[in-house]
Amino acid sequence: MTSAQCNGITIEYESYGEGEALLLVMGLGGQLVAWPTEWVERLVDRGFQAIRFDNRDIGLSSKMPAKPPSFLRIVASSLSRRLAKSSYLLSDMADDAVALLDHLGIDLAHIVGVSMGGMISQSIAIGHPDRVLSLTSIMSNTGDRKHGRVHRSLYLKAPKSVARTREEAVDKGVELFRWISGPRFEDDSAELRELLAAALERSWDVQGTARQTMAISASPDRTKDLGRLKVSTLVVHGLVDPLVMPDGGVATAKAIPGSRLLMFPDMGHDLPKVRWNEIIDAIVTNAERAGFQPKGVEAATAGANA
């Protein structure tokens, strides 16, 4: 791991492999280690230079000085953008990511983002279209406030998932993912616990997550700007996602001209390992439409058919 000065702040990142750059943009409160090492390695095996990083306000990247919002303020801001006040927006986080590419000397990259990371990825494509080879938006939305909302049942559960101490952080994290993941959760729960423990060892900061949440609420609707994109786009979503409901993925695919929509009946707000081959194959195919020449196709196909 190493750090870079980007957009006036410090961004912690890791880079793997050689080839066309693929930038992995993590979601709300997620550190770079939330991208499983095996997932990254599979992308490298397909011929990418895979880059994962900590967004601002999380992990080992710079923490912002603004006072974090209360839970009630977060809920209120999700209901009305007028009530959302944030010291930064998703577009600022997109600028951080592009500044990281500048630091690495990368002019063009494939962008893959999950959840809030999908929103940031969309913002990269909107604000810096000349830097994006292909775009993959996973379990995200357009910010239009009508689609991809949080299921109301989670508003009652969310306060119970907030860790008050470091000691309970892993258990609370597992509890949260149990609520938002699809039916494959039990298959992946041991690996999830390992990822959460690795993140806790690096950093624990609930205030940064609260500020990131407010940045989502304060950012404008991207639908109109997404309609101007001319980039090979893949949208992936789970049909049982309660955190960003499935119509968020449908709205995203409708907004971006020529985009492809891939939805899974056994996927919630998670990346179930049983679906990795299909999702990674789809990411590669989307990149191929932008001229990418993959390697390891036969091995990946064999793995998918196993």
Asked whether the predicted pLDDT for residue 301 surpasses 60, the reply is no
Distance from C-alpha of 303 to C-alpha of 297, rounded to nearest angstrom: 10
33-44 pLDDT, tens digit per residue, is 999 999 999 999
**H/E run at residue 16:** strand 9-16
Asked whether the predicted pLDDT for residue 206 surpasses 50, the reply is yes
Task: Kindly report the pTM of this predicted structure.
Answer: 0.92
16-35 pLDDT, tens digit per residue, is 999 999 999 999 999 999 99
Ramachandran area for residue 67 (φ above 0: left; ψ -120 to 50: alpha; else beta): beta
Minimum mean pLDDT among 13-17, 101-105, 298-302: which range?
A: 298-302
Domain ranges of the chain: 2-305
CA triple 236-241-244, angle to 5 deg: 80
Residues 147-161, mean pLDDT to the nearest whole number: 81
CATH class of 2-305: alpha beta
**Radius of gyration from C-alpha coordinates of the chain:** 18
Distance from C-alpha of 152 to C-alpha of 168, rounded to nearest angstrom: 25
CA triple 268-194-188, angle to 5 deg: 35
